[in-house]
Structure 1
Amino acid sequence: MHDIETPSPWMVRHAVYVKPQSELLDVACGRGRHARFFAARNVMVTAVDRDASLLQPLKTVQNVRTEQRDLENDPWPYAEHSFDVVLVCNYLWRPAARELLATVKPGGLLLYETFMAGNEMYGKPSRPEFLLRPNELAQWVYGDFRVIAFDQMPERGADGKPVAMKQRIAAIRNLPEVEGDSPPATPEPGQSGDPAKPQ
């Protein structure tokens, strides 16, 4: 079972790209481990989840605004280019992927981490609709974002044994009409899988 209290190392690692006073959207925030982490860094967090009971403890956290929403059954509620940072952890709803990506401002940051194909060997989620395909996140952002880091590999427990298959990306939305924009970067040394072009 994945940790529901400690911030993901991937999110912590890339927090250096998130400036104080940035507007951050935490999608399907759950118990708010990332909302709390970034709020403590003076980031303005909008924490959204459909479970009101999970949101309740966050209502008293400074720099956090909670919103109860059903992102799977209602229209996507956020305007294009409305957040400096969009963060998603352990959640996948492909029908809203295009709108979710569009929510990131030009020059803004996407932080995304969730389970991928192969996770069925370790437990849930195991259904294909809840598992990313190989290179899928890189394909989503290709052409519109500059990839800072990307990986897809087993997540290991304290004993070093694989406990899940995860895919992760950190990417910055391109600024419009800027000459000399560099193309999407390849993963950092030691990361698996190049960002893939769309099929």
Structure 2
Amino acid sequence: MEQDRKKWNERYRTSPPGQEPLELVNSYARLVKTGGLALDVACGLGRHSILLADIGFTVEAVDISDVAVEELNKSNHPHVFAKQVDLDHYAITPGNYDLIVTVNFLQRKLFAPMIAGLKPGGILIYRSFMYSDQNQGAPMTRQHLLEENELLHAFCTSLRILHYREFLSVRQRWGQAWVAELVGQLQPVK
């Protein structure tokens, strides 16, 4: 954990990522009833946490970087509660969230807890990088990259898939990289 925390602290100090929220998160989060509880996993500097709070969610935001969490807490947004955690050992509260968002982070052992963390009717928005020979300078090892259709197969038996795609994304900072994105909904109990 300490090595990861230091790595991400340095990144947020020297080369912070862009803070424009993804349209994927903006559009699909609005399908969830306002006033709900959202979880932003690996929230970074909080671009999605602040967006979600601005559209009516109370947001629990977690990240390994205390630098990122401190910056997010400086925003003083009354509906964002950011906390530094070790995501390798983080426990998602079952049945607690109307919305869970994870962008540019991959921790496979959190897949099942994310599903369990949703309330009936809750939505999961997940986007992360994929392995490909076409990636240019993606700053990750293979263990931190999704395989083809991996994200879809991880969630398709438990969630109703509202959106899924894999595509080559052109990024200013590193060049191009393959990305997978999924939006799924836990069906209400009948």
Q: How does 1:49-60 map to 2 (within 5 A)?
A: 49-59=63-73, 60=76
The aligned length equals 172
Residue identity opposite 2:178 in structure 1 = M
Residue identity over aligned pairs, in percent, reads 26
Comparing 3-12 and 87-96, the one that deviates more = 3-12
Q: How does 1:3-152 map to 2 (within 5 A)?
A: 3-59=17-73, 60-72=76-88, 74=89, 76-118=90-132, 121-152=135-166
Instruction: Give the match's secondary structure for 2:30.
Output: helix
Can you give the 5+ residue segments of structure 2 that lack an aligned partner in the other structure?
A: 1-14
CA distance in 1, matches of 2:26, 2:159: 20
Instruction: Give the match's secondary structure for 1:121.
Output: coil
CA distance in 1, matches of 2:171, 2:113: 34
Structure ranking higher in helix proportion: 2
CA distance in 2, matches of 1:32, 1:50: 13
CA distance in 2, matches of 1:97, 1:145: 12
Q: TM-score, normalised by structure 1?
A: 0.79
Instruction: Give the match's secondary structure for 1:175.
Output: coil
Give 1:3 shift.
Answer: 4.6
Can you give the 5+ residue segments of structure 1 that lack an aligned partner in the other structure?
A: 179-199
RMSD: 2.0
Question: Which segments of structure 1 move beyond 6 Å, counting only runs of 4 or more?
Answer: none
CA distance in 2, matches of 1:116, 1:6: 21
CA distance in 1, matches of 2:146, 2:164: 13
The reply on whether 1:168 has 2:184 as its aligned counterpart is: no
Summarize deviations over 1:127-172 as a string: whole Å, max 9, x none. 22111111111111122111111000111358xxx72210001110
Give 1:18 shift.
Answer: 2.8
Instruction: Give the match's secondary structure for 1:30.
Output: coil
Contact 2:99 2:123 in 1 (8 A): yes
CA distance in 2, matches of 1:167, 1:71: 21
